[in-house]
Amino acid sequence: MNQYEHEKLHQQHIKRMKSEKRMVIFYQTIIFLCFFIIWEMASSLKWIDPLLFSSPQKIILLFIEKLQDGSLLSHISVTLFETVMGFILGTLLGTWLAAFLWWFPKMAKILDPYLVILNAMPKVALGPILIVALGPGFTSIIAMGAIISVIITTIVVYTAFKDVDSNYVKVLQTFQATKWQVFKEAILPSSFSTIISTLKVNVGLSWVGVIVGEFLVSSKGLGYMIIYGFQVFNFTLVLLSLLVIAILATLMYQLVDFLEKKLIRNLE
Amino acid sequence: MSPLLSIKEISHVYFTKESIFHALQDVSFSVKEGEFVSILGPSGCGKTTLLSIISGLVTPTQGTVLINESEVCSKHSSIGYMLQQDYLFPWKTIKQNVLLGLNILHDKRKESINNALNLLNEMGLSKVEDAYPRQLSGGMRQRAALARTLATNPSVLLLDEPFSALDYQTKLKLENLVVKTLKEYDKTAILVTHDIEESIAMSDRIILLSKQPGRIAKNFTVPQELKTLTPFQARRHPLFPSLFHSIWKELEALESV
């Protein structure tokens, strides 16, 4: 085979890859469209209860209405702010706690069963206590978003800290590194990829915490929109909030995923 | 002249819940300045433990280690330790890795940094100083690790089977480079290995350790003719096989016990 034939084969290969990708996107679009078309049909033909399941058309109309009176954007911004804060606080606090446990191994041994209990406990059950303690405002909602991810972050990151190859520590110790230097030069950077992958998990968890928090107290936010819609039996509003949450949570996850790829490139 | 390094009656015992493991017993020897000593023994004879004790990372159950008449502890900067694998930090460039020791010691003097960069150059790594370790071959990585160890200018260098993870050709080249560099900087070194050829080719003196507990079984002095040669040339010298043979016989005897 000569150079020309190789190139031809390569071109064919690229073509095949492209057509496969097109096929995947095509079917994904079909599923997307079918879902909404069948939903709309089922609702207008009364196969399903339109009061309960609403219809895409009604949701879009409500979406436009809420967008125009500005209420949707203000709800979105409140929830988004709470979620991002909860997620960042949860991750930072969890990493900080993990560092604390690493620094004091005896403390880690003593606290081990309590961590297990705290991790097993459904954190949203703490909601009422948080609200009474911190007041029925966005502080307690952010606390919910953070508390739900803090313990699991602590456990995962602490395990990563412990699993760092002890020979890296040995290298530093032969240079008389202090404990802080060992942490800064070896422990933290080796666990960086684990910390970032907990971010991905925490995005989802913080949404749960914040939405439940809003169910309980707030007068703003997407969680509030769901509860309000439920109380006045406006399920179009409930479904609209649900769709908005799904889109925002996906976007946030993709953003973290993008960050992960950017940051981890140099860490093997 | 008093020795640079003296190891006095070192014994070390590891405890686990179920057992007591006697790693080293009554190990004493001393090393003169500029000398290259190999510690040879079967695996599990406590070689790595001995190096950890000499470096001050592990406190022995009994005995003392003196460098220049003063006791070692982990707050001592005169020991460099090179491990079996390079353990270069993957998130640092080669240059950052080599300067790691100086940074840890807060040594910002120009001459120290220049000395470290000079080492990098001598190891033939100046072209890749901004590359990351994963972009380098095994031999290059181990050379970078050597430069990192020497950068803090230690008076004693401990080598824990540093060539065992390399292919044969790379190993031979690196042996030459290490011996040349150590002679040039007049360094004292202790090499731990289970490779008889390597110990003969590189060192001035060979200490044979027995197994469980590790104690000194025999001392061999490498003949002057071999000492002056590079490791590669030494391997081809007529005196090489006979020394190899006598060490081999001793090791066999130790293992059959």
Domain boundaries, chain B: 1-78+194-257
Q: What pLDDT does residue B76 have? A: 55
> How many CB atoms are located within 10 Å of the residue A30 CB?
10
Residues of B in contact with A267 (CB under 8 A): 90-91
Residues of B in contact with A193 (CB under 8 A): none
In a mutational test of the A interface, the residue from B99, B104, B142, B157 whose CB has the highest number of chain A CBs within 10 Å is: B104
Q: Is A167's CB within 8 Å of B85's CB? A: yes
- Average confidence (pLDDT) over B108-120: 81
**pLDDT greater at residue B171 or residue A143:** A143
Report yes or no: B146 and B162 within 8 Å, Cβ to Cβ: yes
Q: What's the token pair of residue A155?
A: 């456990």
| The CATH number of the domain covering residues in B1-78+194-257 | 3.40.50.300
Q: Is B74's CB within 8 Å of A171's CB? A: no
A positions 135-194 inside 8 Å of B (CB): 165, 167-168, 170-177, 181, 185-186, 189, 192
Read off the pLDDT of residues A102-161 as tens digits, 9 standing for 90 and up. Answer: 999 999 999 999 999 998 988 888 888 888 888 888 888 999 999 998 999 999 999 999
**pLDDT band (50, 70, 90) for residue B28:** confident
Give the global pTM: 0.81
**Which backbone phi and psi does B26 adopt, to 5 degrees?**
50, 50
Chain A residue closest in CA terms to B154: A175
Query: Edge-to-edge strand order for the sheet containing B205-209?
Result: B79-82, B156-160, B188-193, B36-40, B205-209, B216-221
Residues of A in contact with B75 (CB under 8 A): 176
**pLDDT band (50, 70, 90) for residue B35:** confident
Q: Is A171's CB within 8 Å of B83's CB? A: yes
Report yes or no: B230 and B39 within 8 Å, Cβ to Cβ: no
**Token match 């033939």: residue?**
B124
Tell me which amino acid residue B113 is. I
Contacts of A14 (CB under 8 A, 6+ apart): none
Q: For B204, which DSSP code?
A: S
C-alpha B116/C-alpha A136 separation (Å) is 60
Read off the pLDDT of residues B67-111 as tens digits, 9 standing for 90 and up. Answer: 776 766 545 567 888 888 888 888 888 888 888 888 888 877 888
Q: For B3, which DSSP code?
A: -
Chain B residue closest in CA terms to A265: B91
Q: What pLDDT does residue A267 have? A: 56
Considering only the beta carbons, identify the residue of A173, A175, A266 that sits closest to B132: A266
| ipTM confidence | 0.82
Q: Which residues of A187-202 are buried (b: 16+ CB within 10 A; e: fewer)?
A: bbbbbeebbbbbbebb
Q: What pLDDT does residue B197 have? A: 80
Q: Is B55's CB within 8 Å of A174's CB? A: yes
> How many CB atoms are located within 10 Å of the residue B115 CB?
17
B92 to chain A, minimum CA–CA distance in Å?
A: 9
Comparing B130-139, B150-159, B238-247, which segment has the lowest mean pLDDT? B238-247
**Residue from B40, B105, B43, B30 nearest B69 by CA:** B30
In a mutational test of the B interface, the residue from A168, A171, A194 whose CB has the highest number of chain B CBs within 10 Å is: A171
B positions 186-245 inside 8 Å of A (CB): none
Chain A residue closest in CA terms to B80: A174
> How many CB atoms are located within 10 Å of the residue A117 CB?
10
Considering only the beta carbons, identify the residue of A168, A174, A181 that sits closest to B80: A174
Cβ pairs A/B, distance under 8 A: 53
- Whether B133 and chain A come into contact, CB under 8 Å, resolves to no
Residue ranges, chain A, pLDDT below 70? 1, 265-268
